[in-house]
Amino acid sequence: MTETPAILAPGATASYFEPMVDTPAFLDSSRPDVPDLVVPRGTTPFFLPGRPVRGRLVRLGPLADALLVRHDNPHAVTRLAGEALALVAGLASALKFRGSFSLQAKGDGPLSMMLADCTESGALRFHARSDPERIAALLDVDPAPTARALLGSGYLAFTVDQGAEMDRHQGIVAIEGETLAAMAGHYFETSEQHGCWIRLACRKTQLGWRAGALVLERIAAEGGLAPGAELDNAVLDEAAIDRDDTDGEAWINAVALAATLSDDELLDELLTAEQLLHRLFHEAGVAVDRPRALAYGCRCSRARLAGILEGFPAGDLDDMQVAGDIVMTCEFCNLEFRFPRETVHGS
């Protein structure tokens, strides 16, 4: 998977053109102000004692709105992006090292690409690329298109990135199913070969956009939510898991209980995570682990973008400039960076 952190295009929500006087761009780690927003209890891990089931309850709260409204996408695309952010937030919480978990969907539909990722510390970001004319034509026919209608045919990739010095773990499957939850479930069934049940929700409320996820995993002897991810020690030490559930009855019962969850409940901020999990699983018993924070997490900077520009030939840089400046727009936070042409030296 190739990450594209910026494009050479206008249309950003803000502009940043204040390089440090004595610092060249490639050393300037400064950036414009972005929302300093943290949701302390964004992800709540839990497990069902004595049963081969663990899970994650994710609620982005106001963070969803802060991330999603920075992009002028149609509501249908925004809703799908919110679901993707909630999904990667839940999956990244299984990481036991410094790195990130990302989801990338590419297809031949009106929404040609969607990328969402989350670091081990809960920093979230996303980008979606769509064709406005094709999206408008689709919405004329169906005001609430499915994920499949937006993406079309293509592939879904999940990637665990452990940093520049480590190999990436990546799994890729063809897009199958009508919803993003179904597509992700297909990935775990085929690539990870263990049970994974997913419920995603995103909508615009009176308080702004809200998004959430409930992810259940059937724990196997060599299980994990993703390549490179590990099971929580709390689950393994305290659950006293019965691995003789060969007929899957405990898993089937857990999924049946989880399936009673409604979007309203998942997004209800007056209903705490503990209350919701007790409502769903009190018959089976549920134990809640330590919640984890989620935060606004774009990682762009003048230095990072200047490094990209330094890779272009001088002639191309000359062609990029407008009125003496080269403009780059971060695709994740939609902020515009301006570089005086004379400060950028090409390859």
Q: Is the pLDDT of residue 97 over 90?
A: no
Looking at the fold, whether 229 and 329 belong to one and the same domain comes out as no
The predicted-structure confidence for 246-286, as pLDDT tens digits, reads as follows: 558 899 999 999 999 999 999 999 999 999 999 999 988 89
Domain enclosing residue 320, as ranges: 6-32+300-343
Whether the per-residue pLDDT at 128 is higher than 80: the answer is yes
Element (H, E) at 280: helix 273-281
Last residue of a domain, one of 296, 316, 331: 296
C-alpha to C-alpha distance for 151 and 106, rounded to whole angstroms: 7
3 state SS for 186-204 = HHHHHHHCCCEEEEEEEEE
**For residue range 182-232, what is the model confidence (pLDDT) as tens digits?**
999 999 888 766 789 999 999 999 999 999 999 999 986 444 444 434 434
Check whether residue 253 and residue 315 sit in a common domain: no
* Residue of higher predicted confidence among 67 and 236: 67
Asked whether residue 95 falls in the same domain as residue 220, the answer is: yes
Q: Among 272, 296, 320, which residue terminates a domain?
A: 296
Q: Same domain, yes or no, for 161 and 257? A: yes
Residues 278 and 198 in one domain: yes
Same-domain status, 242 and 318:
no
Residue 1, pLDDT > 50, answer no
Q: Per the domain annotation, does 1 fall within a domain?
A: no
* 103 φ/ψ angles, rounded to the nearest 5 degrees: -120, 130
Q: Of 47 and 2, which is predicted with more confidence?
A: 47
**CATH code of the domain covering residue 194:** 3.55.30.10
In a domain, 108, yes or no: yes
The DSSP secondary structure of 45-61, one letter per residue, reads: EEE-TTSSEEEEEEE-T
Q: Is 152 helix (H, G, I), strand (E, B) or coil?
A: coil
Q: Do 28 and 144 reside in the same domain of the chain?
A: no
Measured distance CA(88)–CA(86) in Å, rounded: 6
- Of all residues in the chain, what percent carry a pLDDT higher than 90? 53
Q: Are residues 241 and 278 in the same domain?
A: yes
Q: Look at residue 337 and tell me whether its pLDDT is greater than 90.
A: no
pLDDT at 67 over 90: yes
Q: What is the pLDDT of residue 193?
A: 67
Q: In what order do the strands lie in the sheet with 335-340?
A: 6-7, 325-330, 335-340, 14-16
**Co-location of 59 and 24 in the same domain:** no
Q: Are 291 and 304 contained in the same domain? A: no
For position 321, which CATH number holds?
A: 3.90.1280
Confirm whether 326 is domain-assigned: yes
Same structural domain for residues 13 and 83? no
The tokens 């898991």 sit on which residue?
241
Residue entry with tokens 């308080």: 207
- State whether 198 and 85 are in the same domain: yes
Q: By mean pLDDT, which of 240-249, 296-305, 328-337 is the weakest?
A: 240-249
Residues paired with 325 in a beta bridge: 322, 340
**pLDDT for residue 223:** 41
pTM: 0.80
Structural domain total, the chain: 2
